[in-house]
Amino acid sequence: MEDNWIEIGRITDIPRQGARTVGRKNGPDIGVFRTLDDRIFALENRCPHKHGPLSQGIVHGNAVACPLHNWRISLETGQALGEDKGCTPVIPVKIVGDIIHINLPKADAAGAKAAA
């Protein structure tokens, strides 16, 4: 994928152990997560099991629990943890100062916008 970094907000826009969503024109929304130690991760906002909205789940450590069936998904790899099997695509993130950027294909970036 060609680098196409878009600014989506500040680290402090996301509460610790919380998430925000970024809508995109083509494809599922993106969940952007902040851990207790201020690390930022982004995943497609759907669980690999039944496509539950991961951004509505509980962040603990470097994982998020899907709000539908409590599947734990690694924020680092997108892999389901424990005995569950499946993977959610990871979206590249970079931090410049305190600004969060995600890397999206141009077709998606044109319509991407952060949601509260």
Give all domains of the chain, ordered by start, each with its CATH number. Answer: 5-115 (2.102.10.10)
User: Would you state the pLDDT for residue 114?
Assistant: 60
Q: What residues pair up with 92 in beta bridges, in sequence order?
A: none
What is the value of pTM for the model shown? 0.89
Average pLDDT over residues 87-100: 97
Look at the alpha carbons of 16, 88, 3, 106 in this order and tell me if their dihedral is positive or negative.
negative
pLDDT tens for each residue of 17-65: 999 999 988 788 999 999 999 999 999 999 999 999 999 999 999 999 9
